[in-house]
A and B are shown apart, each in its own frame.
Chain A
Amino acid sequence: MAEKRETIRQGVIITGFGGQGIVLAGRILGMAAALGDHKESTLVQSYGPESRGGACCAQVIISNNVIQYPYVAMPDVLVCMSHSAYEKYKDQLKPDGVLLTDKDLVRPDEKRDYFSIPATRMAEELGRKMMANIIMLGFTTAITSLVSVESAKEAVTSSVPKGTEEKNIIAFTKGYDYGLSKIKGREKKVIGRAGAIS
């Protein structure tokens, strides 16, 4: 039966410096899809020199069918948390793919549309720079339809170190709210109400 369904398969690349928690973000995303939303998911993480500070990358596939091949050549969603990672992966993104960036760390080319969030700055304001990845995950959950918000929150809670669950959920919610607000802002811009004074 299952094979007859139309396959909806989304490839995601999350990338940034080593140490930003890129792989953890990828794992949480995959777990949310598999455990919470009952889909199939795979994760390929790059180890090696990259995880010590160079460009680092997590490739996640989320599908409603069995996944035969776990590598993502052309992602549907590209999440960039550093400019060098952006430079490296930007051309692989599908033409109608979604680009998500850290506002302060990535300066995307003007020619394509993208969604940015000052995730690292927000994490610093929350007092933990390491949580930028979780904020980014919240943002990604709001902007894309990769995973449901409930599953994402559950996956965050079960993946982060014991005792930090609450803080991480706050971070996730911050990114998520920002994402929702971003979508709302876009709608307002479309109807010509970008500012408070028209």
Chain B
Amino acid sequence: MTEISPADEAVPVVLRVNGTDRRIAAEPRRTLADALREDCGLTGTHLGCEHGVCGACTVLLDGEPVRSCLLFAVQAQGAEIRTVEGLADDDGTLHPLQEAFWRHHGLQCGFCTPGFLMLSAGVLETRPDIGDEELREALSSNLCRCTGYQTIVEAVRSVRDAAGA
């Protein structure tokens, strides 16, 4: 029968984050969000609700946006994880989405921003021709308490349009 990880022991877990293998030790109950923040020091992934509703914790798992608060680190082994830290180039050049959020005032306090950036990155990479209606629907996945959303929609739309031009 398959091996069981006991509840109170940290087990070795390898997470592939932004192209780099991170070797950590985590109890089975460690969420991916906490593993990224606490064990990998990648605090760009934010935690709002911790029950799947706000989307602040959104990361890409094999290219698809997912809630990292609803996933245990042990489950994410073997998958390609991408976080907001992986968006900009090494020399600090911003990703087009980051640039667009800045230009279109797609953020105010910034708490929701990493989640919206990863959601948008996943959506545009997998569905580059997404229509306006579908894009609004996709962006309704996450919550923002500041902007009123319109500027976020405009930012993401501008990146879609620039890529298609």
Do chains A and B stick together as partners?
no
Binding site for B on A (CB under 8 A): none
Binding site for A on B (CB under 8 A): none
